[in-house]
Amino acid sequence: MQMTRNTILITGGTSGIGRGLAEAFHRLGNQVIIAGRRQSRIDEITAANPGMIGFQLDVQDAAAIDAFADRVRKKIPELNVLVNNAGISQSESLTSKPDLAVSRDIIETNIMSVLHITAAFLPMLRAKPQATIITTTSGLAFVPRNNFPTYCATKAFLHSWLQSLRVQLRGASVEVLELAPPYVQTELSGPHQLTDPHAMPLPAFITEVMQLLAAADTPDGEILVERVRGERFAERDGDYARRFWLFNGL
């Protein structure tokens, strides 16, 4: 992926990893477009980063995605990078009054919106001489935690789906990258995560990701900071059972 002269759309760009990536790419002089649910956050971020563009978007609303994609295609035809970062997480009990509405929300946001948005922009991206799709998964795609069952499963789904997309686009001008973060200090699972000392500080994570991208250090299309490599390769390295037990307090 080239690091400059891009026009980049980042979903879930109003907080956490999405905002961190948006501001990092913006500092390099790229045109960055963020999409998120909260207009107040969009206004705050675009004011702090002159030249950045923001759109309000509920990725669970299929009609809104179609209207949004049509608007971007018409107004920003130079778009050549899509970052699928929107995602939600919530703990669940599968044995005591399971709330399937929670599971459905996670699946709609983490899976269906990614498929929908990618399909909407893929023809546009394929027409560019150099384009990139980055999709955020998780280290929990490879070693899951029992108290976030649907979230972990959605990220495992995306890992598999991205492998298929990468092969189908082999020979095309679109690079397909998977960003698999470790546990990072964001609001993903609640405000406590922002200050959890066990989580990787967000600035350190973003810095390492940008360094990997600049060095084209993305073997097999995966962007892996050092801190997540243990989970990513746990099964290959014979360490899966130990890590699974540790993650799940067994």
240 has catalytic annotation: no
Exposed / middle / buried, residue 203 (Cβ in 10 Å: 0-12, 13-18, 19+): exposed
Give me the residue label for tokens 């020979």. Answer: 171
Judge whether 102 and 39 are in contact, CB under 8 Å.
no
The number of angstroms, rounded, from the C-alpha of 179 to the middle of its chain's C-alpha atoms is: 7
Strands (E), the chain: 7-11, 31-36, 53-56, 81-84, 131-136, 174-179, 222-223
250 vs 240: CA distance, rounded Å = 13
Q: Is 143 in contact with 234 (CB distance < 8 Å)? A: yes
Estimate the crossing angle of helix 149-168 against helix 113-126, to 10 degrees.
20
Q: Are 114 and 134 in contact (CB under 8 A)?
A: no
**Annotated catalytic residue within 151, 183, 205, 247:** 151
Query: Helices 113-126 and 62-75: crossing angle, nearest 10°?
Result: 20
Cα gap 71→88, rounded to integer Å: 25
Say if residues 31 and 246 touch (Cβ distance below 8 Å).
no
- Catalytic residue annotation: 151
